[in-house]
Structure 1
Amino acid sequence: MAKFGELISSDIPVLIDFYAEWEEENSEDLQDVLRDVAAALGDSAKVIKIDIDKNETLANALRIKGNPTFIIYKDGEMKWRQTGIQDANTLIGLVQQYV
């Protein structure tokens, strides 16, 4: 968890996709969405995927119940959180609010 603290304390926004490999029925679509978001934001933000099965303690601490769950952090503070599929333009717009 110490590494997670370092990750979210960035002074640029960090968009995290909490997912479960076994539950990603639209995994290719979501992969494309995240790739588009990362490409559009470039160095102005980080886009990261975290598997909740491999990071159970973290998922429980953050009360991740649904997949995918997206969270935006900046300077160690949670700025936005939503469970469910999001499109690239929505995610890009949300992250840009915190750039």
Structure 2
Amino acid sequence: MAAETASKTGIEAANKPIHVDGKAELDNIVANNDVVLTDFYADWCGPCQMLEPIVETLAAEPDATVTKVDVDANQQLAQTYGVRGVPTLALFAEGEQVEKVVGVQPEEQLRSQIEQYTE
């Protein structure tokens, strides 16, 4: 599918989370998008699986680019952002990290946090 191979260019950002592999890729996405919500997750994490449909819904909306970072595959990147538990969500606006929340969050709360930086 073309959208999956286009993740590095950000084309799939409009409707699906972008799976990030490494700090350079995340830095590039944050630098090239006004608002980025990053979900630090692990496949074995039950709460991460509960959060996934919410992350997918937010990715389908135009307000923010949504990325996902597998902490098992990207331990150094998770450490760089102080991720000690999963899920951890980091919100970036204008190239800077502005929010960090740990645990499953209601969709409306996450949408509200995104809207603080998009309006």
TM-score by structure 2 length? 0.73
Corresponding residue number in structure 1 for 2:40: 18
Corresponding residue number in structure 1 for 2:30: 8
Corresponding residue number in structure 2 for 1:35: 56
* Residue identity opposite 1:34 in structure 2: V
Q: How does 1:65-84 map to 2 (within 5 A)?
A: 65-84=84-103
What is the deviation of 1:26? 5.7
Give unpaired runs (5+ residues) of structure 2. Answer: 1-22
Runs (4+) of structure 1 moved beyond 4 Å? none
Distance in 2 between residues matched to 1:45 and 1:82, nearest whole Å = 16
Assess if the C-alpha contact under 8 Å between 1:69 and 1:84 holds in 2: yes
**Cα root mean square deviation, aligned:** 1.5
Q: Deviations over 1:39-96 (max 9, x none)?
A: 3xx2221111111011111011112101100110022201111111101111001001
Residues 3 and 45 (structure 1 numbering): CA distance in 2 closer, same or farther, change over 3 Å?
same
Which of residues 30, 51, 54 is equivalent to 2:73? 54
TM-score by structure 1 length? 0.86
Give unpaired runs (5+ residues) of structure 1. Answer: none
Assess if the C-alpha contact under 8 Å between 1:10 and 1:74 holds in 2: no
SS in structure 1 of the partner of residue 32 of structure 2: coil
